[in-house]
Amino acid sequence: LRHFSSIGFWGLVNNAGISTFGETGWLSMEKYEKFADVNLLGSIRTTLAFLPLLRKYKGRLVFMSSVIAYFSLGNGIYSMTKAAIEKFCDALRLEMKKFGVQVCIIQPGNYARSTKIQPPVSAEEIWDELSEEAKAVYSKEYIQERANFFNSMLREGSANGNEVVDAMVDALMSPAPKARYMVAKLKEKALVFVCALFPTVVMDSVLSYALSK
């Protein structure tokens, strides 16, 4: 920090993130704590560390969120952390206005093929990690179906990661950056639209239908 304070500090990009697949009852408390620590608290830690310099030099703060902040399709733990980051940014953006600091959120869609953030899901590994109680509730066939669904989503991910990088560069360099950059397919944007404007029961029906395919 002493080094940066002598040359100026313009922008901070909070990009660190991890992802996993699994229904709520399959995941341990330790896993929830790890995801919150990396995806949420990690961004908060770096933000607090550099905030004095960003205020001093009227810089930019850029956070990597996701369209998954609005809905979940088998990765609720990741969705949870991204929704929390969104709210953290909403508060920070308003608070930083008086200092001339801009806060921007990048909301990518499915770029799994570009980032390799999520390896293919193994139904066998999930089954082996389940408690005896969970094994009595969920069949091996059900877990295989969910794993196949999630792996198909990973394969559909865009390989054009440069689209997200372009949004990050604009957030850092534009004279008038957007508060949010949604970089996603039309289908993903439509899901966000439904989630934001329609009753929850409608979104639940849409997602339940998608999960049944």
pLDDT score for 179: 98
- Alpha-carbon distances, residue 150 vs 44, 75, 118 (angstroms): 29, 9, 10
- Per the listing, tokens 């308003």 go with 94
User: Residues 32, 57, 70, 78: which is the catalytic one?
Assistant: 78
Instruction: Judge whether 78 counts as a catalytic residue.
Output: yes
4: pLDDT strictly greater than 70: no
Closest among 165, 60, 57, 20 to 106, alpha carbons compared: 165
145: pLDDT strictly greater than 70: yes
Residue 193: pLDDT band with limits 50, 70, 90: very high
Angle (CA) 101 167 78, round 5°: 90
Q: What domains, with CATH codes, occur in the chain?
A: 11-212 (3.40.50.720)
Give the predicted TM-score (pTM) of the model: 0.88
- Alpha-carbon distances, residue 166 vs 57, 60, 169, 172, 187 (angstroms): 23, 15, 5, 10, 21
pLDDT score for 8: 77
CB-based contact 16:38 (threshold 8 Å): yes
Closest among 106, 117, 98, 6 to 65, alpha carbons compared: 106
Residue 77: pLDDT band with limits 50, 70, 90: very high
Mean pLDDT of 167-196: 95
